[in-house]
Structure 1
Amino acid sequence: MSEQDPLHALTLDHQLCFALYSTSLAMTKAYKPLLKELGLTYPQYLAMLALWQNDGLTVGALSKRLLTDPGSLTPLLKRLERDGFLERRRGPDDERVVTLCLTRKGWELRTRAAHVPGCMMQASTFSSERLMALKNELVTLREQLLKTP
């Protein structure tokens, strides 16, 4: 199939979505041994990153921050609570509002996780400047795609 053929755009290796998807899988795989040492899954790590940045988020705010459905967070948050990293507190005025508060163990985990970003940067073999430029491009792409109906 030649590049002039309109069906060429339908080849797997021509797809940006596949490049992003397969890179995401590779990234998650690279994170796995680092996070296993911490007792976290990749989605749990993302939740902890958000809470380390802004402790006391509600489930709804965390869901919005992680661009995910609140219902899909519930099992993940229950495991983090069971493991002693956070407490889920129901609102006094509205029990539907659940606030997430890190425990001492949750804050201590932050110190134990401090090496993870450096390990991932080293695994990529990219300079910090190149990684930041790539991240910025991806964020711009994400923002544009989120505007699409």
Structure 2
Amino acid sequence: MKRNATAVWNGTIKEGSGHLTTDSKVLEKTQYSFNSRFAEGIGTNPEELMAAAHAGCFTMKLSADLTEAGFNPTSLETKATVSLDNGVITSSHLVLQASIPGIEDTQFQEIAAGAKANCPVSKAYNVDIQLEATLL
């Protein structure tokens, strides 16, 4: 399986702007700019997209691992925060809130840690990955 996206940029780094389009059209000429990346401008940025990818991948991997362990998760909600410090992406911090009938916290933490370590996006990122997992 291969997925792709296209980026178009016009102009200088500070005054220019660009847009992103994915094959699925979930992003279709979605704006990004210097301000959307480094200030409070309108549009997306690479770190936001990395956070979305990590949150989605981790949550799906966790669901698969829980199902394989015999649990039926009612709700899994993950917020990912990707940090850009001095021009370097340094970390991804996952905050999970989960509702899973019949699971003990120890087993939940173990399965969540495994999903963090083994989701394909975690494996692709060469950054510090932290996880805060709360069983509701």
TM-score by length of 2: 0.40
TM-score by length of 1: 0.37
Larger radius of gyration: 1
Write 1 or 2 for the structure with the bigger share of strand.
2
Write 1 or 2 for the structure with the bigger share of helix.
1
